[in-house]
Structure 1
Amino acid sequence: MTIAQSLLTYIADTWMKGDADGLDENVPLLELNIIDSSEIFDLVHHVQTEYRVTVPLREVAPDNFRTVAAIAALVERLRTESEGVR
């Protein structure tokens, strides 16, 4: 399962009562009120726990959480950056 697929499942289960109908990687999550600005922090916690990355506060921005594709790209970038530090 890809990061995006895993995120889609999590979002559907958590905020859409398991109904992922119409939800895909490019759906604007905030604009369609699937999640709100306070729920971004719940999503950040999930991302940090599930994908074992640290999301710096500067990265908790609407652009990084606008769509599932954006969140998946953030996770990949943070993973790459953390591997480069080692």
Structure 2
Amino acid sequence: MITEQSIIDYIATAWLDGDTEGLDSETPLTELSIIDSAGIFDLVHFLQSEFRITVPLHEVAPGNFQTVGAIAALVDRIQNEKEGAR
């Protein structure tokens, strides 16, 4: 999935010195301290720029950022809501 790969690449570049080894859609990002609460806001900025979405403040919750899969699901949900509003 393009969304997941883009997120993996960004996380690897921003926090793992470019190393994607062991990073997949189910890697527990917050549990392994790959991303902390401040990092979530950096990631939100990336998502908004990369996918041309607006992440509502109520969606900036730990559960939406636990794994790459959860983040990709958030992006898909926001994009679908955006498409449905047209």
Normalised to the residue count of structure 2, the TM-score between the two structures is 0.97
Give % identity: 60
Q: Does 1:70 align with 2:70?
A: yes
Shift of 1:21: 1.3
Once superposed, what is the RMSD of the aligned Cα atoms? 0.8
Q: Does 1:61 align with 2:56?
A: no
Shift of 1:20: 1.2
Matched length: 86
Moved over 4 A (4+): none
Aligned-partner Cα distance in 2 for 1:33–1:19:
15
Shift of 1:43: 0.2
Q: Which runs of 5+ in 1 are unaligned?
A: none
Q: Which runs of 5+ in 2 are unaligned?
A: none
Q: Deviations over 1:6-28 (max 9, x none)?
A: 11011001100011111111001
